[in-house]
Amino acid sequence: MKFKEIAFKDPNSSRIYKDYLKRVSHAIHILDKENQQEILLEINSHIYEGTRQNSKDQNEVEHLLDVLEKLGQPEVFLKPMVADRKLKEATKTFNPIKIAKALMLNIGNGISYIIFSLLYLFLFAFVFLIIAKIINPEHIGLFYRANHIFVLGQYNNLQGVSYSEYEKLGDWFIPVILVFIIILYIILTLFLKLNKNLKNKSL
């Protein structure tokens, strides 16, 4: 459906209406075009229906202001909707930047989003581990010896002790960690999507 501005008789009504829609557009600008269009159409429909039900014989400006007051401030009432739709966009595309932005928007919407944020940060730490392996290959890796050593990451040989003979992955360290990151990222994102869907069903 194509968006169509509501026509008002009073130029002051038109100005108030257009200013309100600008505030709505600003509040939803981080969403994709499709979601922006859907929200604008929905709000425009509310305004249209509200302004057509003028049973108090108010003048057009006063009635429009009453309708907009009932809708509320776009910066406030659209915030949870924008956060929810941004998360839907992010989990659909698996884009890490979009997921980071969506989690930031949802950080105050429940403890589960805080946990997911921490898990993604933990996952991101493995990216630094790959970079560290390239820079310092001798001291980064998976070092293991039964009942004695288990290190995934970096060890410090402050006492002159070397664990290099216990490194289990060698040149495979980076490919293995990379596969681990990809798999865990996909699993985390699927669980994030499931968590969002369950929250929406419970509302």
Residue-wise pLDDT tens digits, 19-32: 999 999 999 999 99
Task: Supply the pTM of this predicted model.
Answer: 0.71
Cβ atoms of 61 and 16 closer than 8 Å: yes
Confidence of residue 55 (pLDDT cuts 50, 70, 90): low
Cβ atoms of 31 and 84 closer than 8 Å: no
Cβ atoms of 36 and 28 closer than 8 Å: yes
pLDDT at 146 over 90: no
Say which residue the tokens 């002159």 belong to. 160
As a whole number of Å, the CA-based R_g of the chain is: 27
90-122 pLDDT, tens digit each: 998 888 888 998 988 888 777 888 999 999 998
8 exposed, middle or buried (CB, 10 Å; 0-12, 13-18, 19+)?
A: middle
Non-local CB neighbours of 124 within 8 Å, separated by 6+ positions = none
55 exposed, middle or buried (CB, 10 Å; 0-12, 13-18, 19+)?
A: exposed
Confidence of residue 56 (pLDDT cuts 50, 70, 90): low
Cβ atoms of 184 and 123 closer than 8 Å: yes
pLDDT at 49 over 60: yes
User: What letter represents residue 28's amino acid?
Assistant: I
Question: For the packed helices 96-106 and 79-93, what is the interaxial angle rounded to 10 degrees?
Answer: 150
Is residue 71 within a helix (H) or strand (E), and if so which, with residue range?
A: helix 60-71
CA neighbor of 10 nearest in space, from 72, 49, 63: 63
pLDDT at 137 over 60: yes
CA neighbor of 93 nearest in space, from 198, 199, 192: 192
